[in-house]
């Protein structure tokens, strides 16, 4: 979640809004599915950039990112994808260029009493 928030801040304008929403749903008596949404009203991404987003050391191709000196994604999202898969979940992105992004991170967790 921290990586997603950090990226939302890095790729947002001063007047952007960043929202975080956490929901849970019951899988069985001992397990919950946790969903974390990080939504921003930042610069958004092109379809081309979204298709490569979870690869290590990805750089965006659009001018808006370069203007903000924020075109590099490092390996953070690639690691997030691997962690979510290892925890029985996934991470996805929905974006509209110039409007913003919504990242959805899901995983399952056992209830510990």
Q: Note whether 90 and 36 are within 8 A (CB).
A: no
pLDDT category of residue 60 using cuts at 50, 70 and 90: low
Nearest to 3 by CA among 94, 84, 86: 84
Q: How confident is the model at residue 108 (pLDDT cuts 50, 70, 90)?
A: very high
Provide the pLDDT confidence category of residue 6 given band limits of 50, 70 and 90: confident
pTM: 0.81
């Amino acid at each position: 979640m921290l990586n997603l928030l950090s990226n939302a801040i890095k790729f947002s304008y001063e007047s952007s809004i960043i929202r975080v929403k956490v929901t849970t749903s019951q899988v069985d008596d001992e397990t919950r599915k946790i969903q974390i949404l990080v939504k921003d009203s930042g610069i958004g991404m092109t379809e081309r950039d979204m298709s490569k987003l979870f690869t290590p050391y990805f750089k965006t191709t659009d001018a808006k990112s370069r203007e903000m000196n924020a075109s590099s994604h490092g390996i953070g999202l690639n690691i997030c994808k691997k962690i979510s898969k290892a925890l029985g979940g996934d991470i996805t992105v929905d974006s509209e260029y110039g409007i913003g992004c919504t990242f959805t991170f899901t995983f399952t967790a056992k209830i510990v009493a």
